[in-house]
Structures are given as C-alpha cells and as structure tokens.
Amino acid sequence: MARAPVYYGDYLKLDRLLSAQEPESVKAGVDAHDEMLFIIVHQAYELWFKQILHELDRIEADFGTIPVTDDAMGRVVHGLNRIHEILKLVVGQLDVLETMTPFDFLDFRDLLMPASGFQSLQFRLIETRLGLAPATRVPFDDKAIDERLSERDRAAFRAAGEKPSLFDLLDQWLARTPFLDWGGATFRDAYRAAVEKHLARDAEMVRSDPAIPQEKRERDLRNIERAIASFSAIFSATDDNGGWRLSGSAVQAALFITLYRDKPAAQQPFRLLAALMDIDETMTLWRYRHALMVERMIGVKIGTGGSSGHAYLRTTAERHRIFGDLFRLSSFLIPRSAVPELPAQVQARMGFVTAS
C-alpha cells in the first residue's frame, strides 16, 4: 500500500510540542517574561534525558551479552560517545538559562513551589542505570531520594534499581578479560614486580640524594611506602581490594587495558573506558555548573523543592561519582619504559593475525 505523505509538523507533533508551555505566571496574571525560557530549557533537558535513556537501552542489551561481540562493542562505544555529546550540550544550555537574571527569576519563582528539578525521574533513572551506588546518594532534606517523587515515578525508580546497572555490566565484562593469564605467570605478577622495582628505584634515589632535606626525605619515603601498599591491594589474589567498587579482577583488567591500549584488541576497550570517564566527568561538571547557577540565582535561599539550594547540589557534584575507579587507575601507572613486555603468545592474540 502507498504510504501517505509525511508532513514536517505532523511528524514532529509540533502542535502538541509547541503548546506544552503553560507558564504559571500567565495563569496567575503575573508579568514574568522569562518563565517561558525557564520552561523551554527544562523541557529540552527532559527530551535529551529521554534520548540518553534510549541509548542506554541498546547499550545494556549489547553489553549484557556473553560474549560481547566486536559489532556490539562498536555500538556500545558509539552510544557512550553520543551520551557524552548530549551531556556536553546539556551543560551548554546553562549558558542560555543564565541570560535570565536573578531579578527575572523572582518574578515567578514562588509560583513553582514545591516543584523542583530534583523530581526529574528521567535524570534519576540515568544516574541509577549508569550505576550510582544507593549508599553514596546524598539524602534530600535528610530523606530518601524517592520520597519526593510521585507514587508512579517512585515505582519506576525502584524498578530501575533492581536491574544490573552499566557499572555492574562493566565489572562483569572486565572480569572476563582473557589476556591476564600469561601461561605459567599472570599479568598481576609481572606488573607487580615491575611496580615494586620502579618504586624501589625511586626510594633508593630519595635515600641517596644529599640535596634532599631530612624531613622531606622521610616524607617522600612514607609516600612511596603508601604507594606500595596501595599497589598491593589491587594485586591481591582476592577481591578484598582496598575500597574499590570494581572487583579485584576487574580493576586488574582495566589497568591492563590502560597499559596496553595501543594493541589492536585493547583499543576499543580503552575507548569504552575513556567514554565512561568522559560521561562521569561531564555529569560532574553539569552538577557544579548547576550549583553555581543556583547560587547566582537564589543565593543562600532554599530551593523551590525545599533543599538547601546550591549547597546540596555542590555536595552531589562531589559525591555522585560513578566511575571513579577508572580515574583512580592513573595513580597506579608507571613509565611506559618500565611496563612489562607482553609474552609472545599474548602479543599474537592481541594483534591482527594474517596468513603468511
């Protein structure tokens, strides 16, 4: 059957979309020109949040398979990069919102209570599905996060928390990394020996340098001892690994991928880890920018939803990190020249193999 012609406005449902802005100030007979901007920016946020959740649907489906195929890995990395670009755009929208002055905001602010961006279900779902740990969530006015949500939204939020998050899938995928067994030896043993050798050399340099004051020498040596202890934690044969959220085997795999990222088999996994850090960093930036904007708009007043305003938002920026373990890996890197050479059989498995 022939398809009916598609008209631009009908396809985008512009009649519904452009009639969805209903300022409270108009209903109250108050002149508040900038409430339209406020509504449109926040509606745009929610549209982008919907796209992020749409991307996560496919990422979770692809990343949850065993094994994750090369094609699936490509889609996962592509989806994560798209989410990062969307988040960058979300941060940029604050520049538009900040063209509204605090005085402009006061024209309609009181009409919004007790509504708050804190009640954005989609943003809470993004946090949860990425893997924000419930224990690290900052309580909202000393109450659980879902107490300010509607009953329907609360049910959706709790249902999302019952499924494996992207963090969970990452941990399981990393733990399956096949290149850590070096045939009679392990990556863990080889890298631990290289690290201890490198740090021992640093300690000897500190001890033998007469130009270093005694107090600084002792401090530097203590720092090296702490570094050795931290390294030992991730090289432990158990998953009791010193406060990491990732399992011990997953941490070692992430470190392996970071060290040997130039090998063909590790290039796409390294891009995946980098994309997750990009997302975490940009979400943190958005929270900081949001906190600064709120401070600029309302000072020390409480938020419309009853929170402590910018103080609450600033705290979430510091504590609502998801992939902090990946950032922490940088503390355990040694110079490229000191990294152990891959055994020939591992090197062959990680390269592009062609018939001679």
Domains of the chain: 32-180+245-347 (1.20.58.480)
Predicted local confidence at residue 306, as pLDDT? 46
Q: Which amino acid is at 270?
A: F
Q: Are 153 and 121 in contact (CB under 8 A)?
A: yes
pLDDT for the residue 238: 53
End-to-end CA distance of the chain: 54
Q: Residue 216, Cβ neighbours under 10 Å: how many?
A: 12
Report how far apart, in Å, the C-alpha atoms of 186 and of each of 145, 180, 181, 340, 346 are. Answer: 44, 6, 5, 11, 11
Q: Which tokens is 347 given?
A: 């090197």
d(CA 35, CA 107): 8
**Mean pLDDT of successive 10-residue segments in the chain (356 residues)?**
90 97 96 97 97 98 95 98 98 95 93 87 96 87 80 95 97 92 81 86 90 91 83 64 82 94 95 98 94 83 55 85 93 88 89 60
List the structure tokens of 8.
Answer: 């631009």
Question: In the prediction, which pLDDT does 186 show?
Answer: 84
Q: Are 259 and 333 in contact (CB under 8 A)?
A: yes
Query: What's residue 356's pLDDT?
Result: 43
Looking up tokens 């609450």, which residue turns up? 312
